[in-house]
């Protein structure tokens, strides 16, 4: 435990901003006191206050002026905090004792009353210094007062010493030193406890803020009037990286979410349907909870509420993973039982068709074989769905990849190169996707454009356009065909499993496509083009944002 030459202990003297502030105030009072003394002297009031006891007017003004100059010099040291707090307090106290004792001497001794200022000085000193130093200065003050009396008695022939008053003043100084030391110690303990508590609270607040900001669940705190108090990073990401501050209103940031919030606020019944956002943004699954739930109904708008936002797509994926796991176990157990009878039925139908000469029987066996193939296709798709694995995403140079895909696709469907047009801006655009799964997605979408077009193959046109969305700052690709399009009633179901408008379809193609795309953290939407046809838009994850 280190001590400096003044006897200060670093564990007992707290070099804090609060103590420097107190020392500055104490110095201001010192300067003000010196100014009062100078004013009293210059206006001739001191002679009337002290009377005949006043015997050293010149010395009084010199000491008062020196006291003022010392206070001004102390201001500089306090401002720069050099030297240390303890050293400055020790030096200030010695100067105070010296000046006050000299002023006491110039005003006729202890009976003049200025000696009481030593009580204030020692009391203020106890706020900064440990007990032993405070008592040391109290002893110095008492001895200085008695010494002044002894000096005056031997110096002035007509001087009447007041040793009793000097003794009483010394006792008062010691009593005030003890009391102020005890009070200062309790004050320091309280300050230390308050500082520790404040630090703990600040740590808890910072930790809670860090937890809230790092949560994957979006959290928005709002006044029930709609004004946003706070939103974490996840909420801003889910809402499209919008800037949210204390002056933002929910109705301006997300009108649909505010309408859902207002509906819940009016009847406290939560609507669990996901909220659909703009193209490229995830669907939201909101939840609401009141913070000030004890407010009366007429003051409910003055309360606050929590809004929880989750990516509905991720929630759907979690449920889908559970469903796929169950489906995988189911299909693994029944695939053998279903496919073997199907194979037997198909074989029997083929034999029956070959042996029968009746046209009607051949037609019926043809229907049997067709439906068996369809059932087998459904089983294959279900098996593929249950075996669907998460892709290994990699950076893909989109333009070169699409050109290779076009060559393969037109060769398979015997199309001309001009029937599939490709435009990628910028040409060096890269996306993050599993290569094999991207091939599966594009093949399925382009095949649908051919199979559902109800046109001759040479009239089919497919346009693949890719660019960076200016709002989302993500690479997006549109697959547009010139087919009949999809009516409004059907659009909401095209990604549902086993939903199909074709007698030959299984209803799993677009469903599997959507699952594959979302497993690569991308999004797909159907957008009806204004000129007719169909448009599927895929928004990919950029390698730079991975």
Average pLDDT over residues 38-54: 74
Q: Are strands 420-425 and 462-468 parallel, antiparallel or unpaired?
A: parallel
* One domain for residues 167 and 245: no
Asked if the model's pLDDT at residue 309 lies above 70, the reply is yes
Band (pLDDT 50/70/90 cuts) for residue 268 is: low
Alpha carbon 256 to its chain's center: 24
Number of structural domains in the chain = 4
pLDDT at 398: 94
Q: What is the dihedral of CA 91, 93, 96, 97, to 10 degrees?
A: -110
269: buried, middle or exposed (CB in 10 Å: 19+, 13-18, 0-12)?
exposed
Segments in 356-463 forming alpha helices (H) = 359-386, 398-413, 435-451
Higher pLDDT, residue 278 or 201: 201
pLDDT at 244: 77
Average pLDDT over residues 21-39: 92
Asked if the model's pLDDT at residue 312 lies above 80, the reply is no
What SS3 class is residue 287? strand
Domain of 495: which CATH number? Answer: 3.30.565.10
DSSP class of 522: -
Asked if the bond preceding 83 is cis, omega within 30° of 0, the reply is yes
* One domain for residues 364 and 297: no
pLDDT at 32: 95
Closest by alpha carbon to 7, among 98, 97, 131?
Answer: 131
Q: Are strands 430-433 and 420-425 parallel, antiparallel or unpaired?
A: unpaired
Percent of the chain with pLDDT strictly greater than 70:
84
Average pLDDT over residues 295-310: 80
pLDDT at 35: 94
104/141 Cα distance (integer angstroms)? 12
* One domain for residues 325 and 236: no
Exposure pattern of 364-384 as b/e (b: 16+ CB <10 Å)? ebeebbeebeebeebbebbbe
Residues 7 and 51: beta-carbon distance below 8 Å: no
pLDDT tens digits, residue range 505-530?
A: 667 788 888 888 888 888 899 988 88
* One domain for residues 142 and 289: no
179/173 Cα distance (integer angstroms)? 10
Range with the lowest mean pLDDT among 1-15, 243-257, 307-321, 388-402? 1-15
* One domain for residues 444 and 478: yes
* One domain for residues 475 and 457: yes
407/416 Cα distance (integer angstroms)? 9
* One domain for residues 407 and 424: yes
By residue range, what is the domain housing residue 373? Answer: 316-386
pLDDT at 240: 78
The half-sphere exposure of 170 on its side-chain side, counting CA atoms within 13 A, is: 18
Arithmetic mean of pLDDT over the chain: 82
Average pLDDT over residues 326-335: 64
* One domain for residues 412 and 497: yes
Average pLDDT over residues 66-84: 92
Higher pLDDT, residue 543 or 22: 22
Range with the lowest mean pLDDT among 309-318, 321-330, 412-421? 321-330
* One domain for residues 24 and 167: yes
pLDDT tens digits, residue range 389-403?
A: 566 888 999 999 999
Average pLDDT over residues 238-252: 79
Task: Name beta bridge partners: 541.
Answer: 432
What are the residues whose beta carbons fall under 8 Å from the beta carbon of 352, sequence distance 6 or more?
Answer: 361, 365
pLDDT tens digits, residue range 130-167?
A: 888 888 999 999 898 888 888 877 777 666 667 788 88
Segments in 452-508 forming alpha helices (H) = 488-491
517/440 Cα distance (integer angstroms)? 10
Residues 218 and 237: beta-carbon distance below 8 Å: yes
Percent of the chain with pLDDT strictly greater than 90:
22
pLDDT tens digits, residue range 78-114?
A: 999 888 888 999 999 999 999 999 988 888 778 778 8
- Whether residue 210 is contained in a domain is answered as no
Q: Which residue, of 155, 170, 201, is where some domain finishes?
A: 201
Higher pLDDT, residue 274 or 460: 460
Range with the lowest mean pLDDT among 43-52, 77-86, 296-305? 43-52
What are the residues whose beta carbons fall under 8 Å from the beta carbon of 503, sequence distance 6 or more?
Answer: none
Higher pLDDT, residue 28 or 299: 28
* One domain for residues 83 and 162: yes
Q: Which residue, of 386, 402, 428, is where some domain finishes?
A: 386
- Whether residue 360 is contained in a domain is answered as yes
Higher pLDDT, residue 401 or 4: 401
pLDDT at 132: 87
* One domain for residues 149 and 262: no
pLDDT at 351: 76
pLDDT at 331: 64
Q: Which residue, of 324, 358, 386, is where some domain finishes?
A: 386
Segments in 44-130 forming alpha helices (H) = 45-50, 57-80, 85-106, 117-125
* One domain for residues 286 and 374: no
Average pLDDT over residues 222-239: 85
List the structure tokens of 128: 């900064």
Domain of 333: which CATH number? Answer: 1.10.287
Closest by alpha carbon to 27, among 72, 86, 63?
Answer: 72
9/329 Cα distance (integer angstroms)? 74
Neighbours of 305 (CB within 10 A): 20
Domain of 294: which CATH number? Answer: 3.30.450.20
Asked if the model's pLDDT at residue 53 lies above 90, the reply is no
pLDDT at 54: 47
- Whether residue 534 is contained in a domain is answered as yes
């Amino acid at each position: 435990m280190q001590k400096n030459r003044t006897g200060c202990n670093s564990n007992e003297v707290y070099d804090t901003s609060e103590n420097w502030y107190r020392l500055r105030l104490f110095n201001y009072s010192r300067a003000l006191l010196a100014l009062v003394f100078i004013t009293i002297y210059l206006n001739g009031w001191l002679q009337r206050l002290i009377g005949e006891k006043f015997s050293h007017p010149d010395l009084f003004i010199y000491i008062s002026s020196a006291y003022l100059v010392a206070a001004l010099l102390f201001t500089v040291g306090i401002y720069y905090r050099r030297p240390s707090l303890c050293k400055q307090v020790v030096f200030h106290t010695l100067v105070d004792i010296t000046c006050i004792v000299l002023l006491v001497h110039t005003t006729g001794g202890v009976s003049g009353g200025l000696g009481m200022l030593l009580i204030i000085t020692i009391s203020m000193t106890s706020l900064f210094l440990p007990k032993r130093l405070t008592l040391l200065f109290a002893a110095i003050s008492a001895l200085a007062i008695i010494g002044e009396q002894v000096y005056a008695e031997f110096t002035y022939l007509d001087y009447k010493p007041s040793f009793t008053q000097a003794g009483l003043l010394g006792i008062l100084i010691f009593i005030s030193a003890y009391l102020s030391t005890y009070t200062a110690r309790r004050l320091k303990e309280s300050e230390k406890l308050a500082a520790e508590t404040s630090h703990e609270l600040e740590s808890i607040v910072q930790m809670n803020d860090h937890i809230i900001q790092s949560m994957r669940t979006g959290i928005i705190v709002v006044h029930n009037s709609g004004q946003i108090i706070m939103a974490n990073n996840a909420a801003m990401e889910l809402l499209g990286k919008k800037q949210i501050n204390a002056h933002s209103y929910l109705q301006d940031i997300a009108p649909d979410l505010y309408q859902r919030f207002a509906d819940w606020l009016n009847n406290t019944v939560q609507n669990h349907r996901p909220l659909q956002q703009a193209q490229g943004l995830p669907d939201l699954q909101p939840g609401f909870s009141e913070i000030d739930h004890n407010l009366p109904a007429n003051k409910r708008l003055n309360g606050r509420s929590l809004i929880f936002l989750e990516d509905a797509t991720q929630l759907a994926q979690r449920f889908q993973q559970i469903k796929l796991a169950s489906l995988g176990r189911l299909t693994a157990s029944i695939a053998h039982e279903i496919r073997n009878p199907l194979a037997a039925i198909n074989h029997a139908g083929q034999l029956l068709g070959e042996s029968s000469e009746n046209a009607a029987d051949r037609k019926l066996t043809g229907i049997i074989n067709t439906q068996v193939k369809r059932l087998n296709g459904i089983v294959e798709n279900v098996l593929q769905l249950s075996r669907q694995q998460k892709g290994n995403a990699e950076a893909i140079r989109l333009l070169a990849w699409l050109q290779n895909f076009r060559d393969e696709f037109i060769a398979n469907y015997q199309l001309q190169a001009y029937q599939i047009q490709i435009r990628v801006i910028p040409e060096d655009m890269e996306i993050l996707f599993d290569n094999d799964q991207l091939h599966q997605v594009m093949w399925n979408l382009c095949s649908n454009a051919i199979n559902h077009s109800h046109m001759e193959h040479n009239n089919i046109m497919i346009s693949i356009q890719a660019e960076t969305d200016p709002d989302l700052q993500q690479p997006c690709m549109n697959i547009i065909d010139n087919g009949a399009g999809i009516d409004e009633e059907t659009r909401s179901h095209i990604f549902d499993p086993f939903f199909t408008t074709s007698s030959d379809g299984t209803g799993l193609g677009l469903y599997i496509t959507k699952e594959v795309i979302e497993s690569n953290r991308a999004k797909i939407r159907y957008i009806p083009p204004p000129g007719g046809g169909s448009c599927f838009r895929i928004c990919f994850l950029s390698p730079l944002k991975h």
